[in-house]
Amino acid sequence: MVSFVKQRTAVLLVCLLLVSNMLTFTATRGFYQWRAETPPSSSPGPKNGINNSKELENFISVLEILSERHLEEVTVEELFEAAINGMVGILDEQTRYMTTKDWQRMMEQTSGSFSGIGVEIMSVDGFVTVVAPIKGTPGERAGLQPEDRIVEVDGQDIRGISTMEAVGLIRGPEGTQVTLKVLRGEEDSELSFDIIRGNIVVASVFSNMLDKNIGYIEISNFDEHAGEDFKVALMELENQGMAGLILDLRGNPGGLLTEAVSIGQDLLPAGPITYMVDRDGKKMNTYYSYGAAKPYPIVVLVNRGSASASEIIAGALQDTGAGILVGTRTFGKATVQHLEGLGNSGGLSYTVAKYRTPSGRDIHEVGLEPDIVVELENWIHLHPLTLDMKIGDENRNVTFLQQVLKLLGYQVPESGIFDEATEEAVKIFQRSQGLPATGIVKQDTRKKLQEAGEEAQEKNDTQKQKAIEIILEKIS
């Protein structure tokens, strides 16, 4: 038995090396060009003698001993995975091994698309509840509505399961059918939907024109569509006579370097956007803009959640004087990762370089200091109000309700208990909106509260207000 395991171990290890070499080669020629942020600084292929069987002798011996003799049964495959995790574990935090599921999620994040029905869901009181269908998706076309509670997926009862488990059941290959059974309304009307899954593209660029012809573009992450979507949004605003631009990169964790460079080329004057250096500080690739300076002022909003590709754009705009940074210090993640698929359908994210700003600044673990520091006060995350509520109720939705009421200036506790003070505040709000003052929160009241909360939140966004002030000063 031991000889069999030894042979099997050796075969697996050799296959692992061969597959790694082959994928490095093919990735560099194909996959690399669109997925990776930059090529590795060294040529592909094993180095440092790792193909030498003597170097692997201890590893194979430990593998054999543990798989055959350890008290707890463990497979060779499990030990291999643990060994890989051990290798990446001694390196930086961005270098990590991904299982098949982790790799699939990463691909969805970077591609900005997935195959499914296109609805946002969350768990509410044990029910997988629709927050909203994405516009133009199979879920919207089928007639799914906010607050629908999904109770079955293809005949399987999903009450009580997690959101991630539900996502796994609802998503599937494009063109396949999924059957959902939902409960709708106070009467719990049971409805069934047969929906053909499609390719869902998740928006990462959002734009609108503010007062005084000030354009506003928010980028939530740099996925595969960000560059092209930004170009379209920018052109639309410019065609409307935009006098100044606010670029909101707050909470943007980064993404694909190619998309950041594309956006930089749309905003920056001719010159370097960023350049990469290897482990020895030797310059590798330099990425350039070939355009002209914009004829209008640009203000970039940043905070601690702005990282990586966001910092590339913000740093380039700051270094070149093409933009003014407003907000708080950024995260300080200036390393570049390459994503590489492995033969087991998992993948590897590993650090290959550092980037510098055009002036040569190394902001890794330091971040970018804004030109104008503005702290954000009285800011809360607005959660959707998904349940009807009345006096005596006690749950998280009541807490969310009380947060909105406090934001609107009402004196209520954040206890999660719908008490008399909360009821009275709801009645006052309902009167102000021309609604029946029942003190009970139903759909019409929830909608008005959500709208009022978003409007109040906009007024409390001191960073955005400062950006508007700067632009108005410059164009006056």
Three-state DSSP state, 165? helix
CA distance 113 to 170: 15
Nearest-angstrom CA–CA distance, 100 and 106: 10
| Helix (H) and strand (E) counts in the chain | 14, 19
User: Within 10 Å of residue 153's Cβ, how many Cβ atoms?
Assistant: 19
104 is catalytic: no
Q: How many CB atoms lie within 10 A of CB 240?
A: 11
Identify each DSSP E strand in 155-227 by its residue range: 156-157, 177-184, 189-196, 198-201, 205-209, 214-219
Question: Which one of 207, 289, 308, 463 is the catalytic residue?
Answer: 308
Q: What is the β-pairing status of strands 189-196 and 244-248?
A: unpaired
- Is-catalytic flag, 41? no
The tokens describing 292, both together, are: 């002209």
Cα dist. 108→31, 224, 307 in Å?
15, 10, 19
Contact status, residue 349 vs residue 94, Cβ threshold 8 Å: yes
Classify 126 in phi/psi space as left (phi over 0), alpha (psi -120 to 50) or beta: left
Half-sphere exposure of 163 (CA within 13 A, CB side): 10
Residues 55-59: contacts with CB within 8 Å, 24+ apart?
Answer: 56/13, 59/13, 59/83
Q: How far apart are CA 90 and CA 74, in angstroms?
A: 23
Residue 317 near residue 267 (C-beta atoms within 8 A) = yes
**Catalytic: 308?**
yes
Is 336 within 8 Å of 355 (Cβ atoms)?
yes
75: Cα separation from own chain's centroid: 35
Q: Which residue of the set 67, 204, 207, 337 is catalytic?
A: 337
Catalytic option among 181, 333, 354, 466: 333
List active site positions: 308, 333, 337
